[in-house]
Amino acid sequence: MDLASYIRNIPDFPRPGIQFKDVTTLLKEKDAFRVAIDQLVEIFRKESLDLVVGIEARGFIVGAPVAYLLHCGFVPVRKKGKLPAATLAKTYTLEYGSATLEIHRDAITRGQRVLVVDDLLATGGTTKAVCEMVEELGGNIVAVSFVIELEALRGRDKLSRYPVYSLVKL
């Protein structure tokens, strides 16, 4: 299945000059959604993982079914101010703008093996910030994975300490 054909390009969203890769057109197609999740799961089938960390918001849609199928726990990384208990926060730069993400301080136990999941790898700033938080809490990053990778932005270079997997390279 050509997963790339299900991803819609929206020029100049949310800012002029940004080519926004809209994954909702893949998610709404039952076969494409299933194939994407199954392909991500297959990569890690033989790994022993404890947790999938998903990045708000589209990383939840992809990360939760991956966690379920790999029989892992799921930990959400959320935008500032959403998590109710004590958090660790990190501010980072995006392809467009900057943001602060938070994770519950007690979400990860030292030594747990973690897979980080998001829908899309652009500059890698988001995922790098998340990996740093996971490591600060004592987690071991086994890999980071995405449905879509915008190769020209070289996000992999920022994540060179980790195995990086993506299903669709655009």
Is residue 119 a contact residue for ligand AMP (CB under 6 A)?
A: yes
Confirm whether 154 is a catalytic residue.
no
CA distance 161 to 148: 19
Is residue 102 a contact residue for ligand AMP (CB under 6 A)?
A: no
Piece in contact with ligand AMP (CB under 6 A), picked from 24-32, 60-68, 118-126, 160-168 = 118-126
Nearer to ligand AMP, 49 or 120 (CB): 120
CA distance 165 to 155: 12
Nearer to ligand AMP, 87 or 166 (CB): 166
- Residues in contact with ligand AMP, counted by CB under 6 A, come to a total of 18
Nearer to ligand AMP, 18 or 64 (CB): 18
The residue annotated as part of the active site, out of 15, 29, 47, 58, is 58
Q: In what order do the strands lie in the sheet with 87-93?
A: 87-93, 98-104, 73-79, 51-55, 113-121, 140-149, 164-169
**Burial 100-131, CB ≥16 within 10 A → b, else e:** ebbbbeebbeeebebbbbbbbbbbbbbbbbbb
Is residue 67 a contact residue for ligand AMP (CB under 6 A)?
A: no
Cα distances from 154 to residues 71, 95, 112, 121, 159, in angstroms, run 31, 11, 28, 9, 9
The residue annotated as part of the active site, out of 78, 95, 102, 149, is 95
Piece in contact with ligand AMP (CB under 6 A), picked from 43-51, 77-85, 119-127, 161-169 = 119-127
Active site residues: 58, 95
Residues within the interface to ligand AMP (CB under 6 A) = 18-21, 55, 58, 94-95, 118-126, 155
